[in-house]
Amino acid sequence: DTGVSQDPRHKITKRGQNVTFRCDPISEHNRLYWYRQTLGQGPEFLTYFQNEAQLEKSRLLSDRFSAERPKGSFSTLEIQRTEQGDSAMYLCASSLDGRYGYTFGSGTRLTVV
Amino acid sequence: EDKVVQSPLSLVVHEGDTVTLNCSYEVTNFRSLLWYKQEKKAPTFLFMLTSSGIEKKSGRLSSILDKKELFSILNITATQTGDSAIYLCAEFGNEKLTFGTGTRLTIIP
């Protein structure tokens, strides 16, 4: 499979628990982005990496959120002490320098109960 | 802060009709304007526009960018039920995509 893979596809968690999502980008893509999408809204930028360096973080990304891309390949997004407001679709996208469009993964749908 | 506004928010038409979706933007460091189709899951790429006035076409879909007036349109002719989806417009500037809220298009058979 040469697309962007995200795991898990769905996650239901209790408020206060920690969750971690994984994204495997297209192998030759050096940029990896995380977005969050809630119902009726377009995706909102969270953070992006160029290779292993995290170059920008949105103000939406509170202290409870952390993302890593340790070897410049896959990335993880962790949410600590989840809140109901964290319920959303978390989308990962990858790109080659941002020049030729972005390929999105199928997303991880998080439900915090 | 970069901003992308899409209109209409929702559109319902009959199969065979032609639709035009609108996208306006206010951005710094504009590089390109992208259109995506989103059904149940991930947005799928349709077009990337960087130059004004040059129409891009793919089958029944076409799109054009006006960099002077800061807007783009997406046209779909002879609509089919499979075109029912949310259509997202996004601008790429400042090294990231900024999306509009999308237009929800529903095609009635």
How confident is the model at residue A80, as a pLDDT?
97
3-state secondary structure of B41: coil
pLDDT tens digits, one per residue of A13-59: 999 999 999 999 999 899 999 999 999 899 999 999 999 999 999 98
How confident is the model at residue B95, as a pLDDT?
84
Q: Give the pair of three-digit tokens for residue A7.
A: 């795991």
How confident is the model at residue A101, as a pLDDT?
78
Contacts of A47 (CB under 8 A, 6+ apart): A33, A34, A54, A56, A57, A58, A61, A67
pLDDT tens digits, one per residue of B61-103: 999 999 899 999 999 999 999 999 999 999 988 788 899 999 9
Mean pLDDT of chain B: 93
Mean pLDDT of all residues in A77-85? 97
Contact flag B48-A40 (C-beta cutoff 8 Å): no
Find tokens 């697309």 and name the residue.
A3
pLDDT at B44 over 80: yes
Contact flag A45-B100 (C-beta cutoff 8 Å): no
Residues of B in contact with A91 (CB under 8 A): 42-43
Q: How far is A78 from chain B (nearest CA, A)?
A: 20
Neighbours of B105 (CB within 10 A): 21
Please, which pLDDT band fits residue B30 given cuts at 50, 70 and 90?
confident
How confident is the model at residue A59, as a pLDDT?
87
How confident is the model at residue A86, as a pLDDT?
96
- The answer to whether A25 faces chain B, any CB pair under 8 Å, is no
**Cβ within 8 Å of B, A 33-52:** 33, 35, 40-45, 48
Mean pLDDT of all residues in A68-81? 94
How confident is the model at residue A62, as a pLDDT?
87
Q: Is A56 exposed, middle or buried (0-12, 13-18, 19+ CB in 10 A)?
A: middle
